[in-house]
């Protein structure tokens, strides 16, 4: 009897593993608690690998993704994938036990046209490219729980105008009960220094100080005077504060991961 039971058990076990591996990835994705802001379209493949036609994060659009299983994580009861897409790559680790998703080694280039509706309502539409990098992003139960990221706006300008204002960098980190941002130029046309916080109660504040040379392009000067407070000669300031949008707050967590 034992001689029959052992191979039968092995057969059933291997059958289950085979079915899981070959199960369409759409069924597996339905069991993952993804953030509401993340939308996946034209998904094809299985547990081992596949393709995504379009990934939308809020109104960021990323196209033509390919994912491949990294088997080195299986012994730690997690699923790891290497994801390559048009303009970059990222490593993703999913922990089924906790429902957490860790994102690491993010390196991406996005045209500002990928921002879609985020900039459609702006009076002055920006031009240039965004370069995103991050050693760590952590999502728990569908909410952002930790972040350490850098966004560089290269060849900043105004859409439709032959203007290059140089490069500017935004650092984003999570502190104690708050998220923090720091903005600075990278030896660009405008001398920019800024900082802001988003606190657990939803209160946010942002201050950006801008200095320019006396020979600044008149089109840029006009845009600055429209969107900032003109402090004194060739100096401008943006000050914002208030209560953040509830949709944004539902996407992030202020708890210590």
Is 56 within a domain?
yes
- The token pair at 24 is 């369409």
Q: Please tell me the total count of domains within the chain.
A: 1
Is 6 within a domain?
yes
pLDDT digits (tens, 9 = 90+) for 43-95: 787 777 888 888 877 667 788 889 888 878 777 778 888 999 888 999 988 88
- Residue 11 belongs to what domain range? 1-85
Is 22 within a domain?
yes
Is 7 within a domain?
yes
Lowest average pLDDT, out of 58-67, 81-90, 129-138, 191-200, goes to 58-67
Q: Is the pLDDT of residue 147 over 80?
A: yes
Is 26 within a domain?
yes
Is 3 within a domain?
yes
pLDDT digits (tens, 9 = 90+) for 88-114: 999 988 887 787 888 899 999 888 766
Is 145 within a domain?
no
What is the band of 249 on the pLDDT scale with cuts at 50, 70, 90? confident
Is 34 within a domain?
yes
């Amino acid at each position: 009897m034992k001689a029959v039971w052992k191979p039968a058990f092995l057969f059933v076990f291997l059958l289950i593993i085979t079915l899981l591996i070959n199960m369409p990835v759409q069924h597996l994705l339905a069991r993952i608690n993804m953030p509401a802001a993340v939308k996946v379209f034209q998904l094809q493949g299985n547990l081992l690998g596949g393709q995504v036609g379009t990934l939308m994060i809020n109104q960021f659009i990323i196209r033509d993704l390919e994912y491949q299983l990294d088997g080195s994580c299986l012994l730690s009861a997690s699923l790891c994938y290497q994801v390559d897409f048009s303009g970059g790559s990222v490593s993703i680790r999913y922990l089924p036990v906790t429902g957490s998703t860790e994102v690491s080694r993010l390196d991406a280039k996005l045209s500002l046209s990928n921002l879609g509706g985020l900039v459609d309502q702006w009076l002055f539409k920006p031009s240039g490219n965004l370069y995103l990098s991050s050693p760590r992003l952590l999502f728990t139960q569908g909410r952002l729980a930790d972040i350490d990221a850098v966004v560089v706006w290269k060849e900043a300008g105004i859409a439709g105008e032959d203007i290059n204002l140089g490069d500017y960098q935004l650092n984003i980190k999570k502190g104690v009960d708050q998220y923090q941002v720091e903005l600075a130029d990278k030896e660009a046309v405008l001398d920019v220094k800024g900082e802001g916080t988003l606190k657990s109660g939803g209160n946010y504040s942002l201050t950006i100080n801008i200095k320019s040379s006396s020979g600044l392009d008149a089109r840029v000067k006009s845009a600055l005077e429209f969107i900032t407070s003109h402090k004194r000669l060739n100096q401008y300031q943006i000050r914002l504060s208030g209560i953040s949008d509830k949709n944004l707050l539902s996407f992030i967590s202020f708890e210590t991961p």
